[in-house]
Chains A and B, each alone.
Chain A
Amino acid sequence: MYKVIVSPQVSQRLGELCKSRSVLLKVLNRLYHQLGEQAVRYRGQRDYNDPDLFIYRHSLYTADRGWLTFEFAVNDARAQDHLFVESVTSRP
């Protein structure tokens, strides 16, 4: 299992994007379990411009806002057994 580390910038942006504690907790828990335990499934999705990064994406359905999709840029080259979440974007 990888240790997932989140930057203050990503943490702050996630708070803005999620808008509610319960959504934020679901997103963070997914990062902890799915990214931390199953990163090998997503590491192949490399960022074209930065070989240190791969893209991990997950989507959450919310009753009031429909689908929220989060795309994380994750650095797996910085330290062994660690994943550093360096950016997040969301759609729509």
Chain B
Amino acid sequence: MPHLNKKSNHDSIRERLESLISSFDTSVPASLAEAMQSLLAAVNYNDVALIKSSVESVFAAVEHTVREEVEKRLEWSQRAVAGLHKAMVSLEDEPIEPDEESDEIGKQIAAMHEKLQPTLIELHAGMGAILVQRLPDLAARLVNEINNWKVLKENLLDRWPWSAQEPHPVDRSMVTDSRKAFDRNEGKPIEDLINQLGGN
């Protein structure tokens, strides 16, 4: 004898689907909303073959939506990383004196890192095991991009020459030895050292 007051799994699934669909707003892509409606209809018909096919359509719509969103964020991130690599190459040309201007550049890079890397990590975590399995190329690209930021942080940001850094203690014994050498007239003008190295 069935318990009339107890909801069946079927009812419970239907209610959940209805509740989910009613919460959709315009931000939910039409293809996903339509696929969910079809799934609800299939559940109402209690047609197993139709339910299976509708679930597949929902997955396809979710995959499409996820791919679009992830691609968009990957593009932003890749553009930022490329810009930073360009900046790093220009930094290799000439030393800088740490000052307010270089601090500002460091802060901007840090802000970019703080904004983009967690977004990528969240996206990857949010994909869940099923989507990672279904979209392996996208998951791999996300992991790769997360690693790019990690390397950038380690190489560029973690040792950024902030102007407020306390100077190292002066090497006093080198100062003493240098003064003795200067007294013996052993110092060299810097242009001579540059010329010796073949520079100009």
- Residue numbers of A with Cβ under 8 A of B are 3-11, 13, 21, 24-32, 34, 36, 41-42, 45, 47, 49-50, 53, 55-63, 66-67, 69-71, 73, 75, 78, 84-89, 91-92
* Residues 21-49 (chain B) with a chain A CB within 8 angstroms: none
Q: Assess whether A5 is in contact with B188, with CB atoms less than 8 Å apart.
A: yes
- Interface residue total, chain B, C-beta cutoff 8 A: 40
B186 within 8 A of A: yes
B137 within 8 A of A: no
Q: Assess whether A87 is in contact with B167, with CB atoms less than 8 Å apart.
A: no
Mask, B162-192, CB within 8 Å of A = 1, is 0000011111101101110110001111110
Report the minimum CB–CB distance from A61 to chain B (whole Å).
Answer: 4
Q: Assess whether B161 is in contact with A6, with CB atoms less than 8 Å apart.
A: no
Specify which of B98, B155, B171, B179 is in contact with A89 (CB 8 Å cutoff).
B171
Residues of A within 8 A of B193 (CB): 6, 11, 28
Report the minimum CB–CB distance from A78 to chain B (whole Å).
Answer: 7
**Among A47, A61, A87, A92, residue most surrounded by chain B Cβ atoms (within 10 Å):** A61
Q: How far is the CA of A27 from the CA of B71 in the complex (A)?
A: 42
B197 within 8 A of A: yes
B75-83, B86-94, B118-126: which lies at the A interface? Answer: B86-94
With A28-B194, A53-B175, A59-B161: A6-B188 Cβ-Cβ less than 8 Å: yes
With A30-B94, A59-B95, A73-B175: A89-B159 Cβ-Cβ less than 8 Å: no
With A28-B194, A32-B194: A8-B181 Cβ-Cβ less than 8 Å: yes
Q: How far is the CA of A10 from the CA of B52 in the complex (A)?
A: 76
B97 within 8 A of A: yes
Please name the residue on chain A nearest to B91 by beta carbon. Answer: A61
The 3 closest A-B pairs by CB, nearest first: A7-B178, A59-B161, A61-B91
Report the minimum CB–CB distance from A82 to chain B (whole Å).
Answer: 9
Q: Assess whether B179 is in contact with A86, with CB atoms less than 8 Å apart.
A: yes
Please name the residue on chain B nearest to A49 by beta carbon. Answer: B170
Report the minimum CB–CB distance from B197 to chain A (whole Å).
Answer: 5
Q: Assess whether A89 is in contact with B168, with CB atoms less than 8 Å apart.
A: yes
Residues of A within 8 A of B181 (CB): 7-9
B59 within 8 A of A: no
Q: Assess whether A58 is in contact with B95, with CB atoms less than 8 Å apart.
A: yes
Residues of A within 8 A of B93 (CB): 26
